[in-house]
Structure 1
């Protein structure tokens, strides 16, 4: 059976998966501003894949209240009548003329799908992966990446030929996926692939034609010269501070370290009230280290100890005001600020 597309890629205006295909990686992480066509064009790609290979797709969202909004998502993509049959876990199956064409699954319920068969799936879309840093503290799942990887394992088992698209807006470069796989900084408009991980990452920049369309909207006029305009028009991080980044100096003296899962955050005194923060994906345990998080288990006794240290209050205030504090890179800044907000507020 061949499905009839209502839409096709508009490559001079919107993102489309063709660039990702050219790198031939299994896992593809795409991050951009809103309205760049990630969801629509990834679904077009899923339908084209179905027509070419007969392979079904899985559309993934994090929570079941999100998947509830996706039951009619194919109505604007294909001409045929789509029937959605829900399950008890917030997911379900998409059918056309009684033919199964795809699945809908919430990652938060991935354990409920263990042992279930996903027939002929070779294309997966994880939509709206990244969250605003405020939501980072509230909405990412415990062991967020592990739960997604468990779902991948459930769906594909020992399969070797499939495509996974992980889509997100430019909300947080230090998201759990980048944190878990230790992804380095990538400039907006650039991409990078990691052959050993079978991973392609595209920090997509809106096409000039899309920027022109956005510039004509009342929203663009209202938000001109604001942080939201930087996000919506220029793909910069929403709510992103202009963190001060530099290399470590000889006069930076170690104050203490924080151990956060597999990461060690080192806090240095630069001057009397100035601090420099670094991040390494390695576990350093010595007399200067305070354990905050270990295998996602919070050590509240150590957090209480931290709150009692006089200089921590100064460091926190410096981070909030973004003054007298510098970092080795912006990922360090984002993770450090998230830790301060979550555990030391």
Structure 2
């Protein structure tokens, strides 16, 4: 029988581990150096170095490679960081949960949302939530989809509404709605206002797009659409925010993709012009993402449960925006 190394005994680590060390380590993992982390923590460099050494002694592993010209997590450090982020998020939520032990629902809901979310189903859920629980509050952080998912995984967001590329096994996903992307140009563009255009007319024109518009990313269908139009590889502007992609299209930087239902008002107002193809447009699904391991307050639970119930009782055809 192989004897267990006493350095790695779960009982010893759980007994000796200082939670403040984990907080320091979470900051270290996102820093460029010990000095950088010390500045973020408002501590001295020697105290942060001592905290790191104590944590490494406790877990019996080197966590950060600090060789000359290098400051990076070791394999053990990467593993600990994944767990520490979740633990840190849970600890931060404890005071909030305890403070909200009242008869009225007055908790706070933090939602991470991709910038292009235009969804009446979600809007109605917010309306019901505020009407039923006026003392509760909501904040909406507009983030790139990948960052929105990271916020949920770290338990810093109640849930996210975003595009999904790779599904993380610890998170839950539910399709909220489906939207279709078309290509548009603005008034300064030579194709603006021209009727009878064909897809061949787009060849050679520059384009603007989203940062995730590339092969093997969440907007791969948009990449294929631009390739079909033979617009070339010259992208004159990119952003992770729909509002800024729209701005670049409207100001004539290039032809760019937008959800058709989001651009409809601008087309009606003469600010945008849709160019071919007009049929068989690529469909993109937007999901609700949540972390089942997060201990949510009552407000978070009520809003999330209501939104999921609305999804379950609304056919996908009614959640598809063309």
The TM tier, using the shorter chain, reads: under 0.3
Larger-gyration structure (1/2): 2
Higher helix share: 2
Q: What TM-score does the superposition give when structure 2 sets the normalisation length?
A: 0.19
| RCO higher in structure (CA 8 A, sep ≥6) | 2
Q: What TM-score does the superposition give when structure 1 sets the normalisation length?
A: 0.19
Higher strand share: 1
